[in-house]
Each structure stands twice: as structure tokens, then as C-alpha cells.
């Protein structure tokens, strides 16, 4: 197939040959430093025999429209994580692909918008009987009234960010004074509403899903584990450092591993929740759910990631590998899911 890999790039003015060169350099140095996700995807697709063209987008939709018009791809592999450097605008590119009638991998704008909004997605999941933490949101400038029913500790987050942006130990607050301080800081730093959720104590599990409708795989669950001797329950959260800072992870004993044993009942519950959530949030082809398994066996959904990170060696690719798909197979599988979806439509 002729596949365009489209992605967000900081390099304005770079065309396909520029990305080709950059990709060759990064892929050659893979052992020392991971290539950008889009280059890993392109490398995999090429290894599977596809004709691949790289189209990077920064803030120019017209450029993308023009490139696609010239290339006329059979499929677009959507690896866009932001538009204008803003992750909240990632839906713009699939929106354009819809408007222009191209076939593309992954979730549609609706799923991207709904799952990015941590309040909206929780409301939908609750409607479907899925347990989600109680929460309240405030837009910048709004008075911070807290519903009587909400129980501290609360965790404060930007409403529509990801990759643990704005999440630190200070995000977990025990009283109103700390809450006000953190919410004010989130408003100032992220210029978007803030959400405060009831803190759910439990194991931190990531559940990757591939498929649509009837053909639907729940991949082996991964877990972020914390050294219990070096932390209190409220400190066991995926802060920005816990996710991305290797030195910090080492020091604190934080690791991402395949999930330690999970009871049969909890596992069945997780799988049922994933199926329901995937449909309810209009997710497509692949996604990852962040859930917490409480000590009493209850499963709580923290959020759904409609556009999860799929680089080699990270949670979703590791889960796929464990399920028997090495990286190139995993990327090909995402293509197969998208193609099958259009053919059945
Ligand atoms: N309600 C909550 N209870 C306990 N921990 C939470 C809660 N919400 C978020 N966290 C912690 O913060 C991390 C990041 O929150 P999440 O909503 O997944 O945001 P992001 O989109 O940045 O990944 C979670 O993986 C979890 O460790
Ligand atoms: Mg998350």
C-alpha cells in the first residue's frame, strides 16, 4: 500500500526528503537513542513492504491537504499528537482527513476530543456503569466551590493535558488551602480548566486495546510499580518525573512491568470495562486505558488515551510484543484494523 505517515513536527518547512534524511540518521542510531515515534512507524511500514511518505505538520493544514492531494495515499497513518504545538488540537488533523475523505488509522475527532476531556469522559463512563472517581472542574477565574460529597485527598490536574503534564506530588491535596493553591497554579500554567478528582488508592494498571467491533484484543496488562518502602500510597502516582525521568525512577524504585498477578474476577471486570469504554468513547483501532485496581478489588477508570504512545519499548508496544506481535507486526496490525474497518463500513 501507499501510506502517508503524518505527524506533528517542530521543523517548519521540512518536506519529505528532509524527514527521510532525519529518519535515516535516527534509525541508524536506534541503539543509543530512540527515534521519533513517526520514524519508528515509517521504518516498520517500510519493512512490511509499504511505500511510505513522511508528511510532518506544524501549523499548516493546507500543506497537508496539498501533499495528500499529490500523493493520493491508500491510507494515512495518523501519528499526530499536537497541532500548533498544542496537544488539545490533535483532533484537527483527523478532522481534516475526514473532510477530505482519506482513510486513516486510529480514533476520529470525537473520540480524541471526548477522551482528552477528563470530565466529559468520566461522565460518559459513569452513564455506562463504570466506576470513576468523583470530581469537580473549574474554569480559570471561577470561584472554587467544592461539593460536600467530595472527599479529600483530591488530585488536581489540567483538564485536557496528557503525559502527566502538571502532575507532581503536590497535585495530591489534603485540604482546601492546598487545593486553591494548586488549582490557581494549574490555571496560570496551562490556561485551561482544572479538574480535582477523589484520590483512588490502588495499583496503577495500563490496559492496551487493539481492534474494533467483534475483533477486539485486550493486550497483556502493564503496571507501574512503586517501591512501597520508599513511598506512601498518595505518593504512588504517575507524576511527570515518574513517567519520564529515568534517574528519578531509579532512585524511587519505579518501574513499568507486566502486571503482577491479578485475581480472575478483577481481570474479567477490567476486560468488560475496556470493551464498554472503548465503544462508549467512540475509540477506534487502538487505545489505552489507565485504571486503578483498589485493595478491595474494585476497578476504577482514570482515563482513556485515544491516541496512545506507540514507540518501541514503551507500554503499548511491550504489551503487543508480549501478545506475540513484535514491533513491525504491531504497527502492521494497526494498519490492518483500519483497513478492515473501512472495508466493512
Ligand atoms: N483520581 C486519581 N486517583 C489516583 N491517582 C490518580 C488519579 N488521577 C490521576 N492519578 C495519577 O496521575 C496519573 C496521571 O493522571 P491521568 O489522568 O492519567 O493524566 P495523563 O493524561 O497526564 O496521563 C495517573 O496515571 C495516576 O497515577
Ligand atoms: Mg494517563
Minimal CA–CA distance to 77: which of 41, 39, 115?
Answer: 41
- Answer whether residue 252 is part of any domain: yes
pLDDT band at 323 (very low <50, low <70, confident <90, very high): very high
How many structural domains does the chain have? 3
**Whether pLDDT at 345 is above 90:** no
Supply the pLDDT for residue 203: 97
Supply the pLDDT for residue 251: 92
Residue 186 CA to ligand 2 center (angstroms) comes to 17
The side-by-side arrangement of strands in the sheet containing 75-79 is 51-57, 2-8, 75-79
Same domain, 217 and 285: yes
Could you say which ligand is closest to the alpha carbon of residue 115?
1
CATH code at position 152: 3.30.1490
pLDDT band at 217 (very low <50, low <70, confident <90, very high): very high
**Whether pLDDT at 214 is above 90:** no
Could you say which ligand is closest to the alpha carbon of residue 88?
1
| Three-class secondary structure of residue 218 per DSSP | strand
Dump pLDDT digits (tens) for 113-167: 999 999 999 999 999 999 999 999 999 999 999 999 999 999 999 999 999 999 9
- Answer whether residue 118 is part of any domain: no
- CA–CA dist 281, 146 (Å, integer): 27
Same domain, 56 and 157: no
Range of the domain at 79: 2-104
Residue 162 CA to ligand 2 center (angstroms) comes to 6
**Whether pLDDT at 11 is above 90:** no
Minimal CA–CA distance to 171: which of 229, 118, 230, 228?
Answer: 118
Mean per-residue pLDDT, 284-311: 98
Supply the pLDDT for residue 13: 87
pLDDT band at 344 (very low <50, low <70, confident <90, very high): confident
185-199, 211-225, 297-311: range with lowest mean pLDDT: 211-225
> Torsions phi, psi of 50, nearest 5?
-85, 155
| DSSP states of 24-78 | HHHHHTTTTSPPPHHHHHHHHHHHTT-EEEEEEESS-HHHHHHHHHHH--SEEEE
Same domain, 162 and 221: no
pLDDT above 90 coverage of the chain, percent = 96
Same domain, 174 and 244: no
Q: Which residues surround ligand 2, an ion (CB under 5 A)?
A: 290
Mean per-residue pLDDT, 287-303: 97
- How far apart are the two ends of the chain, measured CA to CA in Å? 19
Residue 239 CA to ligand 1 center (angstroms) comes to 8
Minimal CA–CA distance to 128: which of 263, 265, 267, 275?
Answer: 275
Same domain, 210 and 339: yes
- Answer whether residue 117 is part of any domain: no
Ligand 1 atom with the shortest distance to the CA of 197: 1
Dump pLDDT digits (tens) for 78-127: 999 999 999 999 999 999 999 999 999 999 999 999 999 999 999 999 99
Q: Is 105 exposed, middle or buried (0-12, 13-18, 19+ CB in 10 A)?
A: buried
Could you say which ligand is closest to the alpha carbon of residue 226?
1
- Answer whether residue 47 is part of any domain: yes
Contact residues for 58 (Cβ-Cβ < 8 A; gap 6+): 8, 9, 10, 11, 12, 84, 85
Supply the pLDDT for residue 304: 98
Same domain, 213 and 340: yes
Same domain, 164 and 295: no
Mean pLDDT, rounded, of the chain:
96
| Domain end (from 104, 126, 143) | 104
Residue 13 CA to ligand 2 center (angstroms) comes to 32
- Answer whether residue 161 is part of any domain: yes
Dump pLDDT digits (tens) for 16-65: 999 999 999 999 999 999 999 999 999 999 999 999 999 999 899 999 99
Q: Whose CA is nearest to atom 10 of ligand 1?
A: 237
Pairing of strands 135-138, 194-198: antiparallel
- Answer whether residue 225 is part of any domain: yes
- CA–CA dist 82, 319 (Å, integer): 25
Give Dmax over CA atoms of the chain in angstroms. 59
**Whether pLDDT at 12 is above 90:** no
Task: Pull the grid cell for residue 39.
Answer: 520514524
Q: Whose CA is nearest to atom 1 of ligand 1?
A: 199
- What does the radius of gyration of the chain's CA atoms come to, in whole angstroms? 20
Supply the pLDDT for residue 99: 97
Task: Indicate the pTM of the whole model.
Answer: 0.96
Same domain, 310 and 215: yes
Same domain, 222 and 302: yes
| Three-class secondary structure of residue 314 per DSSP | coil
| Domain end (from 53, 84, 104) | 104
**Whether pLDDT at 10 is above 90:** no
Same domain, 181 and 216: no
- CA–CA dist 95, 246 (Å, integer): 36
Residue 53 CA to ligand 1 center (angstroms) comes to 36
- CA–CA dist 294, 298 (Å, integer): 5
Residue 42 CA to ligand 2 center (angstroms) comes to 26
| DSSP states of 270-285 | HHHHHHHHHHHTT--S
Q: Which residues line ligand 1 (CB under 6 A)?
A: 118, 133, 155, 157, 161-165, 167, 197, 199-200, 204, 237-238, 290, 292, 302-303
| Domain end (from 198, 226, 251) | 198
Ligand 1 atom with the shortest distance to the CA of 242: 27
Contact residues for 216 (Cβ-Cβ < 8 A; gap 6+): 209, 210, 275, 278
| DSSP states of 152-190 | SSEEEEETT--TTTT-SGGGEESSHHHHHHHHHHHHHHH
Supply the pLDDT for residue 19: 96
Q: Whose CA is nearest to atom 11 of ligand 1?
A: 237
Residue 238 CA to ligand 1 center (angstroms) comes to 6
Ligand 1 atom with the shortest distance to the CA of 171: 12
Same domain, 253 and 337: yes
**Whether pLDDT at 168 is above 90:** yes
Dump pLDDT digits (tens) for 45-56: 999 999 999 999
- CA–CA dist 36, 20 (Å, integer): 12
Same domain, 211 and 297: yes
Contact residues for 213 (Cβ-Cβ < 8 A; gap 6+): 344
Residue 81 CA to ligand 1 center (angstroms) comes to 19
Q: Residues 300, 201: contact at Cβ < 8 Å?
A: no
Ligand 1 pocket test: which of 302, 306, 315 has the largest number of ligand atoms within 8 Å of its C-beta? 302
Amino acid at each position: 500500500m501507499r501510506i502517508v505517515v503524518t505527524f506533528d513536527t517542530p521543523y517548519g518547512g521540512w518536506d519529505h526528503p528532509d524527514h527521510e534524511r532525519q529518519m535515516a540518521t535516527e534509525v541508524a542510531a536506534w541503539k543509543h537513542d530512540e527515534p521519533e515515534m513517526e520514524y519508528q512507524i515509517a521504518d516498520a511500514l517500510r519493512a512490511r513492504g509499504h511505500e511510505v511518505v513522511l508528511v510532518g505538520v506544524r501549523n499548516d493544514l493546507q500543506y497537508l491537504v496539498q501533499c495528500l492531494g499529490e500523493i493520493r495515499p491508500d491510507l494515512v497513518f495518523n501519528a499526530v499528537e499536537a497541532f500548533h504545538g498544542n496537544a488539545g488540537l490533535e483532533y484537527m488533523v483527523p478532522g481534516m482527513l475526514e473532510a477530505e475523505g482519506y482513510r486513516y488509522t486510529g480514533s476520529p475527532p470525537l473520540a480524541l476530543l471526548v477522551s482528552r476531556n477528563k470530565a466529559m469522559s468520566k461522565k460518559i463512563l459513569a452513564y455506562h456503569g463504570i466506576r470513576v472517581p468523583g470530581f469537580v472542574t473549574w474554569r480559570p477565574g471561577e470561584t472554587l466551590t467544592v461539593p460536600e460529597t467530595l472527599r479529600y485527598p483530591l488530585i488536581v490536574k489540567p483538564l485536557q493535558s496528557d503525559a502527566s503534564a502538571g502532575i507532581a506530588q503536590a497535585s495530591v491535596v489534603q485540604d482546601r488551602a492546598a487545593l486553591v493553591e494548586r488549582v490557581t497554579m494549574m490555571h496560570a500554567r496551562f490556561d485551561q480548566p482544572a479538574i480535582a478528582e477523589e484520590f483512588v488508592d490502588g495499583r496503577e494498571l495500563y490496559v492496551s486495546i487493539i481492534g474494533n467491533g467483534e475483533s477486539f484484543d485486550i493486550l497483556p496488562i502493564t503496571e507501574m510499580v512503586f517501591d512501597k518502602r520508599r513511598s506512601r500510597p498518595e505518593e504512588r502516582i504517575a507524576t511527570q518525573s515518574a513517567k519520564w525521568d529515568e534517574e528519578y525512577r531509579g532512585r524511587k524504585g519505579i518501574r513499568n512491568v507486566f502486571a503482577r498477578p491479578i485475581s480472575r474476577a478483577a481481570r474479567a471486570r477490567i476486560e468488560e470495562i475496556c470493551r464498554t469504554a472503548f465503544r462508549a468513547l467512540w475509540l477506534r483501532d487502538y487505545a489505552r486505558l489507565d485504571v486503578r485496581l483498589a485493595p478491595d478489588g474494585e476497578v476504577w477508570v482514570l482515563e482513556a488515551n485515544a491516541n496512545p504512545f506507540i514507540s518501541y519499548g514503551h507500554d503499548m508496544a511491550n504489551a503487543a510484543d508480549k501478545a506475540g506481535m513484535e514491533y513491525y507486526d504491531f504497527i502492521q496490525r494497526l494498519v490492518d484494523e483500519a483497513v478492515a474497518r473501512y472495508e466493512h463500513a
